[in-house]
């Protein structure tokens, strides 16, 4: 229990994933189709905004999945990506909402120290490490995982800022949301 209390934000994020899954299985999102009444594209912006926040991203992902058959996935994903990018910019401006403090504490755990030692082994080249960091960062930002984690990878080892960073977040969020929506369409 002592170790769990060291990472309260991570614990709440995991609980929000479980909560979103339970809501989905209980049919709590069935009302969406009946109540959107033509506002489905407008709602994409709000859902996109929620997609980047660690605690609300599971709910946003389920929303995209559930409404995927009501909207065309490409324009919906682009609108949602605008919201997610605005959210990312605000997250990085106001670090109080960030997982940064817990990421620093996680880096001190035995598991991550071991992973760091493997990752920084002399046989792994600097170029390979950079490529792996970019791949991990892109996967995290495109997924419903907290974008702060992916941004830690990018900001920690590159000098990318401003419009380049914003553009990267937009593209990755659009791709991630589009994949979720296509999976939702395939499931129907």
pLDDT in tens, 29-57: 666 655 655 567 878 888 898 888 777 88
DSSP string covering 162-187: HHHHHHHHHHHHHHHHHHHHHHHHHH
Domain locations in the chain? 2-103+124-187
Q: What is the pLDDT of residue 131?
A: 85
Torsional sign, CA 95, 142, 157, 82 = negative
Provide the pLDDT for residue 120: 75
CA distances to 27, 37, 112, 167 from 153, rounded to whole Å, are: 36, 41, 14, 16
- Its pTM stands at 0.73
Q: What is the pLDDT of residue 35?
A: 62
What's the rounded Cα separation, in Å, for the pair 119 and 126?
Answer: 10
| Residues of the chain where predicted confidence (pLDDT) is lower than 70 | 1-5, 7, 9-10, 24, 28-39, 91-104, 106, 152-153, 155-158
> What pLDDT, on a 0 to 100 scale, did the predictor assign at position 183?
95
Q: Specify the pLDDT at position 97.
A: 47
pLDDT at 17: 72
The per-residue pLDDT for 127 is 87
Q: CA torsion, points 7, 13, 14, 16, in degrees to nearest 10? A: 140
Q: Which residues of 63-100 are buried (b: 16+ CB within 10 A; e: fewer)?
A: bbbbbbeebebeebbbbbbbbbbbbbeebbeeeebbbb
């Amino acid at each position: 229990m002592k170790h769990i209390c060291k990472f309260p934000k991570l614990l709440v994020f995991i609980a929000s994933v479980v909560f979103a899954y339970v809501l989905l299985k209980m049919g709590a999102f069935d009302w969406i189709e009946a109540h959107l009444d033509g506002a489905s594209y407008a709602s994409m912006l709000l859902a996109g905004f929620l997609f980047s926040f660690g605690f609300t991203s599971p709910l946003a992902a389920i929303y995209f999945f559930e409404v995927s058959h009501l909207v065309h996935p490409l324009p919906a994903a682009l609108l949602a990506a605008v919201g997610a990018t605005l959210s990312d910019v605000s997250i990085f401006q106001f670090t109080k909402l960030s997982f940064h403090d817990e990421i620093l504490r996680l880096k001190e755990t035995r598991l991550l120290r071991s992973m760091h030692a493997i990752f920084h082994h002399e046989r792994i080249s600097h170029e390979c490490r950079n490529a792996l960091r970019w791949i991990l960062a892109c996967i995290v930002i495109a997924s419903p995982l907290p974008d702060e984690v992916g941004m830690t990878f990018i900001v920690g080892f590159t000098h990318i800022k401003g419009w380049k960073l914003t553009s990267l977040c937009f593209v990755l969020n659009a791709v991630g949301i589009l994949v979720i929506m296509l999976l939702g369409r395939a499931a129907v």
